[in-house]
Amino acid sequence: MKLWQYILRRILLMIPLLIGITLITFSISHLAPGDPARLAAGIHAPEETVEVLRQRLGLDKPVFVQYLLYMTRLLKGDFGTSIMTRRPVIQDIMVRWPGTIELTTAAMLIVIIFGIPLGIFSAANEGKPLDHMSRIISLLGVSTPSFWLILIVLLIFCKYLGLFPIGYRIDPTIDLQRITGFHIVDSILTLNFNALISSIRHIILPAFVLGFQGQATVQRLLRSKMLESLTHDYVKMARAKGLSERAVVYKHALKNSLIPVVTMLALMYGGMLGGTFIIESLFSWQGLGRYGSRAVLQLDFPAIMGVTIMYTMIFALVNLIVDILYAYLDPRIIY
Amino acid sequence: MNVLDVALRVRGLEVNFYTYAGVVKALDGISFDIYHGEIFGLVGETGCGKSVTVASILRLVDKPGRIISGEILFDGEDLLKKTEKEMRKIRGGEIAIVFQDPMTYLNPVLRIGEQLTETIREHQDLTGEALEIDRIKRQKFTAKKPSKKRLEEVALRRAEKALGMVKMPNPETVIDQYPHELSGGMRQRVMIAMAISCNPRLLILDEATTFLDVTIQRQILELIKDLKDDLGCTLMIITHDMGIIAEMCDRMAVMYAGTIVECADTKKIFNTPIHPYTIGLLNAIPQPIGEMKELKPLPGTVPGLINPPSGCRFHPRCPDAKEMCSEVKPELRAVEGRHLVACHLYN
Amino acid sequence: MESDSAKGLGGIIDRHKPFLQELRHILYLIRRSPLSLLGITLFSVFLLLATLAPYIMPYDPFKINLSGAFQRPNIEHLFGTDEMGRDILSRILWGCRISLQVGVTVVLISLCIGTILGGIAGYVGGAVEEIIMRFTDLVLAFPSLVLAMALSAALGPGLNNAIFAISITWWPWYARLIRGQVLSIREAGFVEAARCVGASDFRILFRHIIPNSLGPIIVNASMDFGWAILMTSSLGFLGIGAQPPEPEWGAMINAGRLYFMDKPWIATFPGLAILFVVLASNLIGDGLGEILNPRLRRR
């Protein structure tokens, strides 16, 4: 099988996956206690209105018919109406998703920029004090709850040191034209440097906290895999060929070690998506996470399900990209 | 090619491994000579120290092992006294090894071509040829430094040439393939190509045919014989298979539990083995011709090397052991001409 | 050639000698690994605190005392009091019980479900394996915290629902792990060999498959213990896990976050507690991982 065949196959496999996802989200929303018709109509609505609503929403039909209705609605983009904002959920999602993607992408950059070099560095200097230090820091990084870390970080950096602004994606007094919804991209496109600087200043802390745990995980994994790779026979062979230690580590060991790390990155992205609920709430970041955590508190099921589906779709896309990247890196997998 | 010149001289090589269970005395001061242009065989059971010897020659003994003392003279220079930088020049360039299992010794995520060219680029001076090509192709007559692309091109050409020398079908295709796409025999040819690509003076085969089918084994051994004649190098074959030694080697040494017990011309040892261990070893080989006899295996087992037997390490299993054998370690001495034995029965 | 030593107690020890030697070696390696030692010590401290909590906590963790609210850490209240006047130290100790129970429960449930499904998939193979593994992939297609949140919301707020929700998101990892182990052991040939001498499936499962799979399971389980606590406290923080007045550490941090800028102690101590418990579990997992992976063993 060649690479493009693998890619095609993978993309086609997405279809049953997406169907399965909708099946599960449907089942979950069905688990919810309470009467959805009543919830949608409101507590004070008269019984007839609730009945009419129930029929309109198809809630009196058998389960699999409801599922089919649900699927058709999803395909049309109808995620229902949010109970807390009283607007169509799809609209709420459309406004907020760029914020979340910007945040998670920035966090991923942090993970890659810090995690990978530190991991290599740690493995190459195994046993020396610098290795011990970075191991301790990464160990702490994996063990610290993010929500608590934020509070500490906010306290130190924002209150005491005043280095970074607290909250929001951008200084509310700045006027930024919305093209893509990604503040950083938009400010570059419109050459609005004030906006650019403000967006960057606002994104640094939340991205850092979101990526901190991920960066520590990558560091540890890469270190462990590198150390393991260095015991393999092909490394012995490379040394027996007289290659420099640099070539042995960076060319032979690293490529083999990066492969499991790449897979881990996909997983990590999923964890970050979950983390946005916390981070966005604490930083008043306008994104899906903040919307989602409010929805959960208020048991706004259309919104909860909408966010769940959205996040899962993004996650599925990221997994697809990573799988393709993996197949490119490790030629054995295609066979 | 003066066969009486010594290519490799090992004297009193001692290697210990410091493990949690104790100190493993892997090599107990071994000595042997390999002459220029010959095929030298080192034979012994698994665990007797053959691979440690090879690793010591290249100074690649892994932790927790350490070379304690000894001399390894390669064309007169003591390898144990060289700097790491100097050793790196020697590894792959002057002394090359072919290892046992090509699947694990080849990097699975790098193409064959890459694994060949990296050795070539490391040890060979490609600038001359690269500049030539530059001048001809791009008419850069005064260029002093060749482009990287050109160097890579030259290296690839040499890699293909090396693959041709090991009789690899379709070298141009193989260059772009990955190790798992090749069969075992082909992978071993790649390993051999890697080893000969830089014209080493000493080529070491560490159990190189153990993992191959018997028929492929024969092909590979034939190939190696031819290569050795073409390249004019010295060959050291490490194996536990007496048959290979009998067929290939001019001279051989028998190892037991970290010591060399006998060292002589192959014919001599097979016809008139002297050391009790060698005798026992040869007796244990089933004879397909002649009258049917009972197989006579050696009694006992190989000793652990944390607390090896005192004196001669073979004495607990030796049918002719004397009192002295458990007290004093026998030195390797000449019995007649160049037939060396380490045994008190002959001192 | 049966010697007398093969019978009796000496015989039992003899037969299991290799296993006992391996065990001794592992204990030796644990002693020499400062990581594992630290982790085990830390964990034991928490275990001790959790067990003794009812006897050593100075105050009732649920007792409200509004007039004594917001006290800074002082002699009477070593960690201060929270917004309802409850002693934070006592709440942390009680929360210790909660967290440890949560960790063990989540790991056990996921392990059981995962082992059963993964084991069946690996052992039986065929269509059954396909179905189970596709289902596993499906659950794994959801980001864990998102799925746990949606489930918790659907089931209703509360600690037990949160535990259940998290276990549901986590079992696929074990299923995959176990199936992988079963497959590699099946390939290894000693299942076939055992069958040849007439061993029943049951016996094969217990005497061959399970002992050989233990290694990675133990390493994963010890790290997942900490992970489960992090997830639960995240849910608690978001308000859908444990509900006040439960002194679950995440919920405590949530309660304290409003006052964090000028009364930081309310949220700081529960956070430190989470940090140290998760740290302990990661240390143990790391240490065990190094020990059980022969490639990383140095001596």
Indicate the pLDDT class of residue C3, thresholds 50, 70 and 90: very low
Q: Would an 8 Å CB–CB cutoff place B26 in contact with chain A?
A: no
Helix residue ranges, H only, chain A: 3-31, 36-41, 47-56, 63-76, 89-110, 116-124, 129-143, 146-153, 183-189, 193-229, 233-240, 245-246, 254-283, 288-297, 301-329
Q: Which two tokens stand for residue B198?
A: 């830089």
Q: Which two tokens stand for residue B94?
A: 């002057």
Which percentage of chain B shows pLDDT scores above 70? 97
Q: Which residues of A touch B92 (CB under 8 A)?
A: 240-243
Q: Is C81 helix (H, G, I), strand (E, B) or coil?
A: strand
Q: Is A159 helix (H, G, I), strand (E, B) or coil?
A: helix
pLDDT tens profile B107-145:
988 889 999 999 998 888 887 787 777 777 776 666 677
Q: Would an 8 Å CB–CB cutoff place A327 in contact with chain B?
A: no
Looking at per-residue pLDDT, the higher value among B321 and A8 belongs to A8
What are the sequence ranges of the domains in chain B? 6-94+200-346, 106-184
CB contact (8 A) between residue C296 and residue A224: yes
* Contacts with C38 (C-beta within 8 Å, 6 or more apart), sequence order: C280, C283
Q: Would an 8 Å CB–CB cutoff place A240 in contact with chain B?
A: yes
CB contact (8 A) between residue A237 and residue B93: no
Q: Is B21 helix (H, G, I), strand (E, B) or coil?
A: coil
CB contact (8 A) between residue C154 and residue A308: no
Element (DSSP H or E) covering residue B41: strand B39-43
User: Cα separation of B158 and A70, whole Å?
Assistant: 65
Q: Are C122 and C129 in contact (CB under 8 A)?
A: yes
Nearest chain B Cα distance for residue C283, angstroms = 23
Q: Would an 8 Å CB–CB cutoff place B22 in contact with chain C?
A: no
Q: Is C166 exposed, middle or buried (0-12, 13-18, 19+ CB in 10 A)?
A: buried
Indicate the pLDDT class of residue B253, thresholds 50, 70 and 90: very high
pTM score > 0.80 for this model? yes
Residue B186 confidence (pLDDT) above 70: yes
What is this model's ipTM? 0.84
Nearest chain A Cα distance for residue B132, angstroms = 26
Element (DSSP H or E) covering residue C30: helix C17-32
pLDDT tens profile A205-219:
888 888 998 899 999
Region of C43 (left: φ > 0; alpha: ψ -120 to 50; beta: rest) is alpha
- Chain C: residue whose CA lies nearest to A296: C153
Q: Would an 8 Å CB–CB cutoff place C284 in contact with chain A?
A: no
Q: Which residues of B touch A242 (CB under 8 A)?
A: 87-93, 119, 122-123
Q: What is the pLDDT of residue B97?
A: 92
The two most distant CA atoms of chain A are separated, in Å, by 86
Nearest chain A Cα distance for residue C54, angstroms = 26
Q: Are A272 and A107 in contact (CB under 8 A)?
A: yes
C-contacting residues in A 259-298 (Cβ below 8 Å): 270-271, 273-275, 277-278, 281-282, 292-293, 296-297
**Strand spans (E) along B61-168:** 65-74, 77-78, 95-98
C-contacting residues in A 199-238 (Cβ below 8 Å): 220, 224, 227-228, 231
Bridge partners of residue B339, in order along the sequence? B336
Q: Closest by alpha carbon to B312, among B321, B304, B299?
A: B321
- Chain B: residue whose CA lies nearest to C26: B20
Q: Are B227 and B17 in contact (CB under 8 A)?
A: no
Q: What is the CATH number of domain B6-94+200-346?
A: 3.40.50.300
Could you tell me which chains touch chain C, where touching means 3 or more CB pairs under 8 A?
A: A, B
Residue B46 confidence (pLDDT) above 50: yes
Q: Would an 8 Å CB–CB cutoff place C295 in contact with chain B?
A: no
Q: What is the pLDDT of residue C13?
A: 61
Indicate the pLDDT class of residue A246, thresholds 50, 70 and 90: confident
Q: Closest by alpha carbon to A326, among A269, A264, A268, A271?
A: A264
Averaged pLDDT of chain C? 82
**Strand spans (E) along chain C:** none
Q: Considering CB atoms only, which of C144, C237, C239 is closest to A274? A: C144
Output phi, psi for B253, to 5 deg: -130, 145
Compute chain C's Rg from CA coordinates: 23
Place of tokens 């087992």: B301
Neighbours of C155 (CB within 10 A): 19
Neighbours of B285 (CB within 10 A): 12
Looking at per-residue pLDDT, the higher value among A28 and B296 belongs to A28
Q: Are C86 and C59 in contact (CB under 8 A)?
A: yes
Bridge partners of residue B23, in order along the sequence? B18
Q: Would an 8 Å CB–CB cutoff place A154 in contact with chain C?
A: yes
Q: What is the CATH number of domain C33-298?
A: 1.10.3720.10
Element (DSSP H or E) covering residue C223: helix C210-238
B-contacting residues in C 9-38 (Cβ below 8 Å): 25, 28-29
Indicate the pLDDT class of residue C299, thresholds 50, 70 and 90: very low
- Chain C: residue whose CA lies nearest to A317: C141
CB contact (8 A) between residue B118 and residue A241: yes
Output phi, psi for B316, to 5 deg: -65, -25
CATH class of A92-329: mainly alpha
Q: Considering CB atoms only, which of B89, B106, B109 is closest to A242? A: B89
- Chain C: residue whose CA lies nearest to B17: C299
Q: Would an 8 Å CB–CB cutoff place A330 in contact with chain B?
A: yes
Nearest chain A Cα distance for residue B320, angstroms = 42
Nearest chain B Cα distance for residue C29, angstroms = 9
Residue C295 confidence (pLDDT) above 60: no
Q: Closest by alpha carbon to C92, among C299, C272, C256?
A: C272
Q: Please give the DSSP secondary-structure letter assigned to residue A115.
A: I
CB contact (8 A) between residue C155 and residue A31: yes
Q: Closest by alpha carbon to A295, among A83, A79, A40?
A: A83
CB contact (8 A) between residue A332 and residue B89: no
- Chain B: residue whose CA lies nearest to C32: B20
Q: What is the pLDDT of residue C2?
A: 44
What are the sequence ranges of the domains in chain C? 33-298
Task: Please calculate the CA angle C185-C177-C122 and round it to the nearest 5 degrees.
Answer: 50
CB contact (8 A) between residue C149 and residue A292: yes
- Chain A: residue whose CA lies nearest to C296: A228
pLDDT tens profile C94-129:
999 999 999 999 999 999 999 888 888 887 878 888
Q: Considering CB atoms only, which of A241, A330, A335 is closest to B91? A: A241
The pairs formed by B75-83 with CB atoms below 8 angstroms and a separation of 24 or more are B75/B7, B75/B201
Q: Give the mutation candidate from B17, B20, B62 for the C interface (greatest C CB count, under 10 A).
A: B20
pLDDT tens profile A83-96:
788 888 888 888 88
Place of tokens 């140095």: C298
